[in-house]
Amino acid sequence: MGTIEKIAVRNLKEHKAKTLIIGILIAVGIMVMILSNSILDSAEKGSKEVFIENYTAHLLVSKKMEKGKMSAFGYEAGMANMMMGGSENPTIPEYAKVYDYLSSIPEAKAVNSQTAGLNSLIKFDETMDNVAFTNLWGIDPESYTNMFPDNIVMMEGEFLKTGESGVILNYRLIEDIQEEIGKELKVGDIVTFQSLSGGMKLYEVPLRGIFKYRNGNGSVFNMSIIDVESYRVLARMIVGTTDDIKVADEEQELLEGDFDFDTMFSDEIDVASTDDNFDFDSVLGDLSVREAQTKPSTGTWSFTLIMLNKISDMEKVKTDIETWALENDIPLEVQTWEDSAGSTGETVKQLKFIINIFIIIVAIVTVIIIMNTLVVSIMERTSEIGTMRAVGAQKGFVRRLFIAETFTISMVFGTIGIVIALIVLFIFNKIGISFGGNALLEALFAGEVLYPVTSIKTIISGYLISVLIGLVSSFYPVSIALKIDPIKAIQS
């Protein structure tokens, strides 16, 4: 330890009260920052894992639209667009071609198409008094469970099976229906849905099960899961195809000319052949294209989700898909999980931004308080400073002395603050931080209970911040100390 450091430690011992006050301020400030950053880091990591592994996957591919956007929770359009007749159920163009390409991506672990965004009422009678509101996801059970194998916990009944009609409802919705409407829904009951779009269509499906999301939060408690064919009926999405159908020139001439279609039909029927081995296929031609065009699944998916083997490949795969879509003249939009989380993700980002602003304000206030305390301390030590200057101490020596004192306080009490923060985090990690059913907090922290953890990066940044706070706080007081005239300081 050098001479300046020894003097700095001696001075701190001589002024124990002021040292303790400044130290406590630094310790509390660092403790608050470590706790806040650890909780935010845990929330960000948790929301990232929850959304990717349960709802959004890594990438979402949908039709590119001029207004609004598709999220994993449905089409989010502006009110102006809705009033001007904007589609509420935009679907992927040239779906079969797009799906084949997405399935061939080597970085993709799973591909799953869904429909989403249909607002629907559950009706119990002819009136509008006894209704419950829910949003619907239309899924293919096999693709869905292949991508999200662990996000659903069945409390009653069974998950949907491929090819069967039915719906599974969130247990929170079941509880709300029983509490607010006084109706009880059991597995096996017929549920009547009324779509709030597409002509207020009514449709009945059996209740196959009651479930909860393993990692759910307030943003998904109102999401129910229905088989995709029932969804399409409710949303009026049953279409033959959205692909362009090419018509040969000679066929167009038949449609555009003065061909007399009546000559094709008459009251007389001539049997060309009675041969049992007559090949009707040779007359009808190849029906495979016609059958493919009339499949109800063609082009009637809202979006396709892609789960990657490594999250580090996300930007590369996104760029590859966009390039392929441009080359094939298909209007596609590719979003990462943060964007496809929709309004829920935006709310989380905004809340995290507000909390970060709060942390910055706390840091600034801490610096100001420490700075004021140091100024008072230096003003009370003017005689000591004058004496040092009178016996030959240069300004550089005085500057280094005060910086050494502040640095020592910052390091010692910064360490204490970090240790206290780690103890508190350890306790919180064991017991968890419950949000008491607050939907907003559950959406922010991606779950009903948060188990915060810290990281080496957070601890190192805590040390650096504590030193920075100390140094920044000492700049102004040191400048005051250097302006003190030695003679006047001794006389004071």
Q: What is the pLDDT of residues 81-122, one digit of tens each?
A: 433 334 457 889 999 999 999 999 999 999 999 998 778 888
Residue with tokens 């362009």: 244
> Do 193 and 122 meet the contact criterion of CB atoms below 8 Å apart?
yes
Is residue 257 assigned to a domain?
no
Q: Based on the domain organization, do 14 and 128 belong to the same domain?
A: no
Can you give the pLDDT at residue 83?
A: 37
Model confidence at 369: pLDDT above 60: yes
Domain check: are 323 and 356 in the same one? no
Same domain assignment for residues 91 and 136: yes
State whether 75 and 216 are in the same domain: yes
Q: pLDDT tens digit string along 212-234?
A: 887 765 567 788 999 999 998 88
Strands 167-170 and 223-227: antiparallel
| Residue at which a domain ends, from 282, 306, 330 | 330
CA-based nearest residue to 134, from 222, 235, 200, 203: 222
In the predicted model, what is the mean pLDDT of residues 322-345? 88
- The per-residue pLDDT for 240 is 46
Q: Is the pLDDT of residue 29 over 90?
A: no
CB atoms within 10 A of CB 433: 15
pLDDT greater than 50 at residue 76: yes
For the entire predicted model, the pTM comes to: 0.65
Residue 351 lies in a domain: yes
CB distance 484 to 385 below 8 Å:
yes
pLDDT at 330 over 50: yes
Is residue 263 in some structural domain? no
Q: Are 19 and 136 contained in the same domain?
A: no
Comparing 271-285, 291-305, 392-406, the range with the smallest average pLDDT is 271-285
**Whether the Cβ atoms of residue 435 and residue 363 lie closer than 8 Å to each other:** no
Mean pLDDT comparison of 18-32, 41-55, 302-316, 461-475, highest-scoring range:
302-316
Give the 3-state secondary structure of residue 299.
coil
Q: Which of 140-144, 171-175, 197-201, 252-256 bottoms out in mean pLDDT, i.e. has the lowest?
A: 252-256
Structurally, how many domains does the chain consist of?
2
Look at 72 and 294; give whichever has higher pLDDT: 72
Same structural domain for residues 449 and 315? no
d(CA 48, CA 446): 8
Domain of 480?
3-52+346-491
186 and 109 in a single domain? The answer is yes
